[in-house]
Amino acid sequence: MKITVMTADEQFITLDVDPDESVENVKALLEVETRVSLQQQQLLFNGSEIRNSDRLSSLGVRDGDLVMMISRASSSMPGNDLSFNPDGSAVNPGAFQQHVRRDSNMMAQLLQTDPELAQALLGNDLNRLQNLLRERHQQRSDLRRRQEEELALMYADPFDVEAQKKIEAAIRQKGIDENWAAALEYNPEAFARVVMLYVDMEVNGIPLKAFVDSGAQSTIISKSCAERCGLLRLLDRRYKGVAHGVGQSEILGRIHVAPIKIGNIFYPCSFMVLDSPNMEFLFGLDMLRKHQCIIDLKENVLRVGGGEVSVPFLQEKDIPSHFLDEERFSKQASASGSIAEASGTKNDGKLPTGGQSSGTPQTDPTQGPDFEAKVSKLVELGFGRDAAIQALRFFDGNEEQAAGYLFGG
């Protein structure tokens, strides 16, 4: 195996030694390389001095490890202590930093193998350097411990149930680690944050950045956004309810139609109004379907009207930072993902399907005389009875959404 020895006179020496080599023999090799006598050498590993009689393997020295060598004469000089503490931090971080900086070969190697540590050595923050040295020491210790545990398991009693469980866990973890390493090499983008889909729109003449969410059944606008757009006066409170999901949000009502501008074309749109300050405007599946939208991730655009308008999805830099806040986004997702349970239907002034009220029974919106009346209205518009029934059931009895779906189809 190969070990690297850092000397007090700014040299890095690589020695090819046997794992069972004694420290005394290592010092003899260093005497030839450094001209420092064996008696004057002091070798340190992980901040502790190692004795001549010790073997490298018994000390835990592995291939690629770093050993410090200082002469007993230089160790008595103040401000020149290049040893390490037991936690891996440098005893004199300033001296250690300057020492490594002067070695251009070592710095070049660190820039390739550990750029984070190299930047800390080149910077002026000694606390950050010490923290990184502790982290690297802990990583080496963890790796050494795992290797020792794996070695011990190889010689474990095959009839020991606990040992076999540990072997099974080690094999499973090895598979996970290999899978992780393969993902880093062949699918590194999987570890990056995925930016959600936003587009520029205008609602009633007010520009907004709309969150495109095909997983939300209904298009949603917040109360504050509806007020800013001058639409709150059109709020139909007969569609009040509660949207359930990971969390829940109060549905204040519904705005039946308002103009939205996508690109240069205006489209009619209906909204559920939620009392949700963490979400401004969400373009849901009902309007995506009605206006025959296509989410084109290859070209990174939203196509509307079967392709008559194409608007690009916003880059991360163009999305307001509070939209990307993880806590806020999780609250938005919990509401938007569950709107399918609370999408509105009038229900004769009762709560929408999926809403909750204290002591008020809910009726099935897809049965009864009201449902038959809605079917008749759709049939009068020229649609087949079976298609009308299917559309109404799909939208939980919502006549407007069913008609929009049938017209769009």
Q: Which helix (H) or strand (E) holds 119?
A: helix 115-122
Nearby residues of 192 by Cβ (< 8 Å), 6 or more positions away: none
Rounded CA separation 333/248 (Å)? 10
Supply the pLDDT for residue 349: 37
pTM attached to this predicted model: 0.46
Cβ proximity of 89 and 134 under 8 Å: yes
The answer to whether the Cα torsion of 364, 397, 372, 358 is positive or negative is positive
Please tell me which residue, 343 or 198, carries the higher pLDDT value: 198
Mean pLDDT of all residues in 276-304: 89
Catalytic residue among 213, 325, 348, 396: 213
Structure tokens, 223: 């109360």
Is 213 assigned a catalytic role? Answer: yes
Question: Residue 14, SS3?
Answer: strand
pLDDT in tens, 185-219: 888 777 777 788 999 999 988 999 999 988 888 89
In one letter, which amino acid is 222?
A: S
Q: What are phi and psi of 7, to 5 degrees?
A: -95, 170
pLDDT in tens, 146-184: 777 777 777 777 788 888 888 888 888 888 888 988 888
Of 56, 65, 62, nearest to 25 by C-alpha is 56
In one letter, which amino acid is 203?
A: V
Residue 301 has pLDDT above 90, yes or no: yes
Please tell me which residue, 8 or 331, carries the higher pLDDT value: 8
Supply the pLDDT for residue 256: 92
Nearby residues of 161 by Cβ (< 8 Å), 6 or more positions away: none
Supply the pLDDT for residue 234: 92
Laid out side by side, the sheet with 41-45 consists of 12-16, 2-7, 66-71, 41-45, 48-49
* Average pLDDT along the chain: 78
Supply the pLDDT for residue 367: 60
Overall size of the chain counted in residues: 409
Rounded CA separation 129/43 (Å)? 23
Which of 9-23, 124-138, 386-400 is most confident?
124-138
For the range 351-354, what are the long-range contacts, defined as Cβ-Cβ under 8 Å and sequence gap of 24 or more? Answer: 351/240, 351/241, 351/242, 352/239, 352/240, 352/241, 352/251, 353/396, 353/397, 354/241, 354/242, 354/243, 354/244, 354/396
In one letter, which amino acid is 317?
A: K
